[in-house]
Amino acid sequence: MTEVAAVPDQAPDGSLFQQIQQFYARQMRLLDHGAVEEWADTFTEDGVFDQNVAGPLTGRATIAVAAQKRVDQIVAEGITRRHWLGMLEVDPRDEQGVVRTRYYAFSMATERGGRPQITASTYAEDSLVRHEGGWLVRYRRVTHDGTT
């Protein structure tokens, strides 16, 4: 018979989990609607967006420029893009008040009159910090499936 080790209950309280879910829903909606400056403002001033398929982007301004290029390309192609995040794990704050999250994310594209196609499947890890009653991404690491 297989013994199963007990896993310590480190689940965040419901309020924290709900806040983080709401943060991600708003953040992804901003990006999907092309509100690049507002989306970039969900990162700390020195925030990092790091993907295993490109070099890391550091700072809001750099993140915004890269995101705007991508949004412009998508608009020019006549594509509607949507992000879906799921399987969210939220680790309660550490001594410095940082919340760590892990989640899966899909990016989908739909051509005018077409059917949605998954364009990316990823695993992401974020470090979030509290800021003026909300949350900001200090560091985001995105690993694209099929690339490692």
Task: Answer yes or no: is 114 within a domain.
Answer: yes
Task: Answer yes or no: is 6 within a domain.
Answer: no
Owning domain of residue 136: 14-144
Domain tally, the chain: 1
Task: Answer yes or no: is 140 within a domain.
Answer: yes
Task: Record the tokens describing residue 87, joined without a space.
Answer: 């399987």
**pTM score, two decimals?**
0.86
Q: How confident is the model at residue 2 (pLDDT cuts 50, 70, 90)?
A: very low
Residues 35-54 pLDDT 10s: 999 999 999 999 999 999 99
Task: Answer yes or no: is 47 within a domain.
Answer: yes
Task: Answer yes or no: is 7 within a domain.
Answer: no
CA gap 20, 16 in Å, rounded: 6
Q: What is the CATH number of the domain that holds 127?
A: 3.10.450.50
Please, which residues have CB within 8 angstroms of residue 48's CB and are 6 or more apart in sequence?
56, 57, 58, 138, 139, 140
Q: How confident is the model at residue 136 (pLDDT cuts 50, 70, 90)?
A: very high
Task: Answer yes or no: is 132 within a domain.
Answer: yes
